[in-house]
Structure 1
Amino acid sequence: MKKRVWLTGLILSLLAFAAVGCEQPTPVSDTVKWINTTYALLTEANHGDRDLIGGFKKTELNEEQVKALLSEWWGVSDRATADENLDWLLTEGHRMVFQEDMANLEEIGLVDLSSEELRSAAENSGYTEEEAAWLVAMVELYRDKGGHAIDAWDYCRALQVLGYYYVAGYYTEEETLDASLEVAKTLQGMYGSWDECMESYLAGYQYWQEDDGQDPDSATAARRKIYEDLQSSDENPYELDWNTSLVKTW
């Protein structure tokens, strides 16, 4: 695992190095900015360029590095598996697993327990403190937001991988942007603001990480800090109107 993380970090460092000094050949339209902003947290975490599709300039080096990332993290190795992965994100994704998990917990009565009762039951069943905290957070999320609580996690990642497909050479630029436009329109209709969307994304991130988001050393806390730092930065991407008219500009 440590080797995998180290190798992934090296790849991302190379990508970030290759992105330095990159210029977009034409001005970035508001539609493309909107699409790129849906995965700005990951682009920022990877030290990429938020004005570039996928966060990185399309070069031979970046193409190979992104192919390696897609293979390692997504099981994508060609156009066919790229299409399959995108279809999974748009039709199932982690949101379906979340719904199934919550339905199972509801069936056995755990959703009806108070948070403290649930935490105690989890720890008595062998959960660690972190695992119990995660379970409580997910059940509280489900109680508050329902079965669609983490939907943005899947849709934002769909837009992210579409950008990667372009950098990796599995999709042309037009194919990536055409597909991204349709996903973006769907996502835009699901939420009323960037904050609503990003809260759903971050909830999904925590669901995937299975960590305690209240722990300042957790991956979820680190991802949330990136969001907060971007919001307070001079180049806050979320200043772009959520209700921007999304139209084909390419």
Structure 2
Amino acid sequence: MKKGRIKGAIGAAVLGTALVLGGCQGASGAFKTQEYVSDNDIFRAVLPEGMEQTDMRFQTNSALMMLDGGDDKNLQVVVFGGGKENAIPGQEAAADLNGYKESVNSYIEKNIPGLKLTWDKDNSESREGMDQCISAEGTAEISGSKAKVYGLYMENENSYYGGVAFGGRGEIASVKKVMSIQPGEVGTRETTGMDFIYGMTAVLDKVNNSNMLELKKTMEDMEGVKSTDLTSIERQAAANLLSSWSISNKASLLETVSGLCGDKGHNADALSVLERYGSDPSESRDAFISSLESNGVSDKEKIYMLAVYDARAAFGDRALMGWDLSRAVSVLEMGYAAGFLTYDEAVSQATEVAKLAQTTFSSWEEFNQSYLYGYSYWSEEDLEDPSSSAAERAQMVKSLTESSASPFRVDWNISL
């Protein structure tokens, strides 16, 4: 049986990794084990020692770990772990562990072109600290090469964990004996200025299932990533910037960011709307509503105008700046992903925006509330309407705030 090494995409969009398929090797003897700790200690996986580890954090409390045994071990493992609400990027939350297992397998198969996984029946297992555990064995095939595959999927009250190992018969037999995944001590890593920057876009990252800055940087730092994989990300990011922002190059990107941080964002536009209706900060909310109704303002218009009124009442002239500054950082991150900025340029510019946020607001609570008012203004949807996307964003902020690995645990006044 030939031994092949192919390039697959394991990531929120494309994250290159090599997968070895060579199923004709025999038993390789007992493995010494090692505990591999995921990014931000979201989970810990016990597997054969000495494997090369690459991590990516999809969300604050959801991560992916890739482990490569190299040429001396015909073994590769992909491990997922995270909160049930966003355990697998780009997919709806699984209804149960069986649904999660299918999501993991589908994600891997979808992101490695030509890969076909064939599974035998599931086995129910018992693992310490887990409410339920399923394992499965099967075969992986791609480009005429085959390998054994072993999957382990577990859940506790709040999280799902899954690992899929590819290798020869001997390697998989050993992995079955030693593989385990356990929750880590989430959030124990010391926070940095980059965590603050990621916090500013945490809600949008949750919507998009990834942070484009972290995704592309991870790919660039990995060995053996195909240039076509990076090109794919750059084209996607450039297309998004053009369609959503009319940004086509570095100059227009920086001009947009400057405007969002100055007088060309939604904050300035929204405050001018209040001025057109003669509203001033001393006017009561009820009086403002009466004024809108007497001027024949539609219910749709009333929603976003009240959002601006409430934002100004809370934050004065800073009303929607949380929304504008969050979008400014997102544009910079997308600009790096599109190739308009270097990583250092994007981080430097994002740091300046973060400093402005620190001087504009006094806490994550203020910043996020301003962000939500801005989203309500932009979407023309009511934050109090449970069926609206605005209320959905508000729930995202709440769940991120309450998460054990909340992006908003970073000291608001951290040195940048």
What is the TM-score normalised by the length of structure 1? 0.79
How far apart, in 1, do the equivalents of 2:407 and 2:275 lie? 36
How far apart, in 2, do the equivalents of 1:33 and 1:50 lie? 14
Structure 1 residue 85 and structure 2 residue 256: aligned?
yes
How far apart, in 2, do the equivalents of 1:110 and 1:218 lie? 28
Q: 1:53 to 1:178 in 2, by over 3 A?
A: farther
Counting matched residue pairs gives: 229
How far apart, in 2, do the equivalents of 1:117 and 1:190 lie? 28
State the match for 1:40 in structure 2: 202
- Which one scores higher on RCO, CA 8 angstroms, separation ≥ 6? 1
Work out which of the residue numbers 35, 55, 64 in structure 2 matches 1:23: 55
How far apart, in 2, do the equivalents of 1:53 and 1:244 lie? 24
- Checking the alignment, whether the CA contact within 8 Å between 1:66 and 1:167 is kept in structure 2 is yes
Q: CA shift at 1:99, angstroms?
A: 2.1
Deviation string 1:125-177 (CA, Å, 9 cap, x unpaired) is 54443432332332233234322211121112111111111011000001111
Deviation string 1:26-78 (CA, Å, 9 cap, x unpaired) is x9971111111101100011111488178985622211111111011110011
Tell me whether 44-53 or 145-154 shows the greater mean CA deviation. 44-53
Deviation string 1:181-207 (CA, Å, 9 cap, x unpaired) is 122112112222111111111111112
Q: CA shift at 1:122, angstroms?
A: 3.5
Q: 1:15 to 1:153 in 2, by over 3 A?
A: farther
Q: Give, as a single letter, the amino acid of the residue that structure 2 aligns with 1:222.
A: E
State the match for 1:5 in structure 2: none
Structure 1 residue 200 and structure 2 residue 370: aligned?
yes
How far apart, in 2, do the equivalents of 1:177 and 1:154 lie? 17
- Checking the alignment, whether the CA contact within 8 Å between 2:12 and 2:209 is kept in structure 1 is yes
Equivalent residues in 2 for 1:118-157 (5 A)?
118-123=288-293, 125-157=295-327
Q: Secondary structure at the match of 2:235?
A: helix
Deviation string 1:8-39 (CA, Å, 9 cap, x unpaired) is xxxxxx98343598736xx9971111111101
Q: Secondary structure at the match of 1:16?
A: coil
State the match for 1:169 in structure 2: 339
CA RMSD of aligned residues (A): 3.0
- Checking the alignment, whether the CA contact within 8 Å between 1:49 and 1:56 is kept in structure 2 is no
The structure with the largest alpha-carbon Rg is 2
- Checking the alignment, whether the CA contact within 8 Å between 1:131 and 1:212 is kept in structure 2 is no
How far apart, in 1, do the equivalents of 2:217 and 2:372 lie? 19
- Checking the alignment, whether the CA contact within 8 Å between 1:159 and 1:183 is kept in structure 2 is yes
- Checking the alignment, whether the CA contact within 8 Å between 2:326 and 2:371 is kept in structure 1 is yes
Q: Give, as a single letter, the amino acid of the residue that structure 1 aligns with 2:397.
A: Y
Give the share of equivalent positions with the same residue, in percent. Answer: 28
- Checking the alignment, whether the CA contact within 8 Å between 1:110 and 1:118 is kept in structure 2 is no
- Unpaired runs of 5+ in structure 2? 1-9, 18-53, 57-188, 221-229
Q: Give, as a single letter, the amino acid of the residue that structure 1 aligns with 2:248.
A: S
- Checking the alignment, whether the CA contact within 8 Å between 1:153 and 1:205 is kept in structure 2 is yes
State the match for 1:185 in structure 2: 355
Q: 1:102 to 1:155 in 2, by over 3 A?
A: same
Structure 1 residue 105 and structure 2 residue 277: aligned?
yes
State the match for 1:64 in structure 2: 235
State the match for 2:3 in structure 1: none
- Checking the alignment, whether the CA contact within 8 Å between 1:36 and 1:51 is kept in structure 2 is no
Q: 1:138 to 1:83 in 2, by over 3 A?
A: closer
Q: CA shift at 1:80, angstroms?
A: 2.0
- Checking the alignment, whether the CA contact within 8 Å between 2:401 and 2:407 is kept in structure 1 is yes
Tell me whether 209-218 or 56-65 shows the greater mean CA deviation. 56-65
Which of the pair is proportionally richer in strand? 2
- Checking the alignment, whether the CA contact within 8 Å between 1:36 and 1:53 is kept in structure 2 is no
Q: CA shift at 1:240, angstroms?
A: 1.4
State the match for 1:216 in structure 2: 386
